[in-house]
Amino acid sequence: MTETAVKTLKHYVGGKWVELDAAGTLDVTNPANGQVIGRVPLATAKGVDEAVRVAQAAFPAWRATPPINRARFMFKLKDLMERRFDDLAKVITREHGKTLDDARGEVRRAIENVETASGIPSLMMGYGLEDGAAAGIDEEVVRTPLGVFAAVCPFNFPAMVPFWFWPYAVACGDTYVVKPSEQVPMSMAFVAEMVDEIGLPPGVFNVVNGDRVAVEALLDHPLVRGVSFVGSTPVAKAVYARGAANGKRVQAQGGAKNHLVVMPDANVEKTVDNIVGSSFGAAGQRCLANSILVTVGEAHERVIPELKKAVEALKVGDGLEPGVGMGPVISEKAKQRIVGYIEKGQQEGAKLVVDGRKNPAAAGPGCFVGPTIFEDVRPDMTIAKEEIFGPVLSVIHVDTLDEAIKLIEDSPYGNAASIFTQDGGVARRFRYQVPTGNVGINVGVAAPMAYFPFSGAKESFFGTLHGQGRDAIDFFTEKKVVITRWFDNLRVAGHHGF
């Protein structure tokens, strides 16, 4: 794309592409080549206020829309997303850098959330009892929408993560404001075009671009009833604290340091395939990536040589090119941070067996760091404790399953953990004991389907209700208890009954 073709994005508010009060713009770059592909405006608190008020104005009419009619918009969106499937995937790859196959997987996950939200007439059903409180008194629970909700989204899944939240909120009868990452705003702009095409009423779904100023404005705005966040743990803590202090519902997904445990009886070929996909897919930039490989007993000698060969054969490059297995990281700043962790690992005595800094792609243009593997890693090393969010895998060897579980228990994070074994008893014990929100058994990326919650524990999640599925329905609605008694009017003078 030439400089003259670079487009400055707008905000999607009230069913229109608008300019809000802004504090300048940021360049959006393709991390595979450093080329500027767009400019994103940074809304001020005044601009955010305008968007929220538009969403609030749309709420009464949208709330009054029957759930079955709201669901029909989800069916329309699902159909359009299927038809524009590869178009959206290519937008994701260009602005994020992940391979086209990874991007397609992301779009599929987004569509699955739309499919689940389309079941809203059933998902919002309440419950009750005749004579539930006393004789002649009925009691029931009904769900009601609350108003305006917002999402503050990360760069690593520019299309999928917003879909953990907004389809459910909108299907429930709420209105919504999405604040995409300023690093990858073009995917949600593409989604907004599709939302516009299906004819969703103006103001029900809105996209506001911005940085920290916009986030704080959403957290402080009195008309915003709740905020969903995905990002690093320090920011998740701050978002949760600020939103809760302002009386909002908050679900804040934080960082991770996920462990993948390999037992001696694991299927080596399948296990290695899963390790490569889990640790180096999307260049390791996902909260379900396994960044610590724990080999138990003889598993080390069986798995590590095959893993090293598979990783060295992984082609790194532009995610749009055929045969590429791993793309760049999101930015030059991210690249330098990851390189710093590699250097730190060496300084602390870990054995560097695959050095991503020496990958051929790392010498060319773009923000490339090749897949990296450390062995002889101790739990007290920086690379074993801190979230790197890049293609760096640390291998820790232990003798027993108890030691492997203890590593996971000692981690401050609790997003996910996986085990590879053919022993059902071992697998059951693992799933029972590990204190993580998501558990994989012979699954490298323990990503829940849309009708299950995207769980998390300890420092990886702040809140009570998670994204996706019935948790999302509970988050975006209030349970209203209705207690009813009807008096017998048959004895009223002049009343002849039926």
**485 contacts 136 by C-beta, under 8 angstroms:** yes
The whole-angstrom separation of Cα 385 and Cα 41 is 36
- Give the length of the chain: 498
Tens of pLDDT along 95-117? Answer: 999 999 999 999 999 999 999 99
**What is the per-residue pLDDT for 3?**
43
Tens of pLDDT along 50-72? Answer: 999 999 999 999 999 999 999 99
Residue 4 pLDDT more than 50? no
Active site residues per annotation: 287
CA 452 to chain centre: 13
- Token pair listed for 174: 């709420």
Secondary structure, 3-state, the chain? CCHHHCEECCEEECCEEECCCEEEEEEEEECCCCEEEEEEEEECHHHHHHHHHHHHHHHHHHHCCCHHHHHHHHHHHHHHHHHCHHHHHHHHHHHHCCCHHHHHHHHHHHHHHHHHHCCHHHHCCCEEEEEEEECCEEEEEEEEECCEEEEECCCCCCCHHHHCCHHHHHHHCCEEEEECCCCCCHHHHHHHHHHHHHCCCCCCEEECCCCHHHHHHHHHCCCEEEEEEECCHHHHHHHHHHHHHCCCEEEEECCCCEEEEECCCCCHHHHHHHHHHHHHHHHHCCCCCEEEEEEECCHHHHHHHHHHHHHHCCCECCCCCCCCCECCCCCHHHHHHHHHHHHHHHHCCCEEEECHHHCHHHHCCCCCCCCEEEECCCCCCHHHHCCCCCCEEEEEEECCHHHHHHHHHHCCEECEEEEECCCHHHHHHHHHHCCCCEEEECCCCCCCCCCCCECCEECCEECCCCECHHHHHHHCEEEEEEEEECCCCCCCCCCCCC
Whole-number average pLDDT of the chain: 95
Maximal C-alpha separation, the chain: 96
Tens of pLDDT along 214-248? Answer: 999 999 999 999 999 999 999 999 999 999 999 99
Residue 1 pLDDT more than 50? no
Residue 423 pLDDT more than 90? yes
**What is the per-residue pLDDT for 489?**
67
**What is the per-residue pLDDT for 130?**
87
Tens of pLDDT along 164-218? Answer: 999 999 999 999 999 999 999 999 999 999 999 999 999 999 999 999 999 999 9
> What global pTM score does this model have?
0.94
Cα dihedral 288→290→296→300 (10° resolution): 150
Residue 26, beta-bridge partner list:
40
Neighbour-count burial of 230, counting CB atoms closer than 10 A to its CB (0-12 exposed, 13-18 middle, 19+ buried): buried
Q: Cβ neighbours of residue 330 under 8 Å, at least 6 residues apart?
A: 31, 96, 97, 155, 156, 183, 184, 285, 367
**What is the per-residue pLDDT for 491?**
55
Q: Looking at residues 110-134, what average pLDDT do you find?
A: 93
**What is the per-residue pLDDT for 498?**
45
Fold adopted by 258-441: Aldehyde Dehydrogenase; Chain A, domain 2 (3.40.309)
Give the number of C-alpha atoms closer than 13 A to the C-alpha of residue 493, restricted to the C-beta side. 0
* Rounded percentage of the chain residues whose pLDDT exceeds 90: 94
| Domain span(s) for CATH 3.40.309.10 in the chain | 258-441
Residue 492 pLDDT more than 60? no
Tens of pLDDT along 329-375? Answer: 999 999 999 999 999 999 999 999 999 999 999 988 999 999 999 99
- Token pair listed for 154: 């990360």
Residue 461, beta-bridge partner list:
253
**407 contacts 398 by C-beta, under 8 angstroms:** yes
The whole-angstrom separation of Cα 228 and Cα 251 is 5
List Cα–Cα distances, 443 to 157, 273, 282, 292, in angstroms. 20, 10, 17, 15
**Residue 495's pLDDT band (cuts 50, 70, 90):** low
User: Domain 3-254+460-482 is classified in which CATH homologous superfamily?
Assistant: Aldehyde Dehydrogenase; Chain A, domain 1 (3.40.605.10)
Q: Looking at residues 144-155, what average pLDDT do you find?
A: 98
**What is the per-residue pLDDT for 161?**
98
**Residue 494's pLDDT band (cuts 50, 70, 90):** low
**176 contacts 164 by C-beta, under 8 angstroms:** no
| Domain span(s) for CATH 3.40.605.10 in the chain | 3-254+460-482
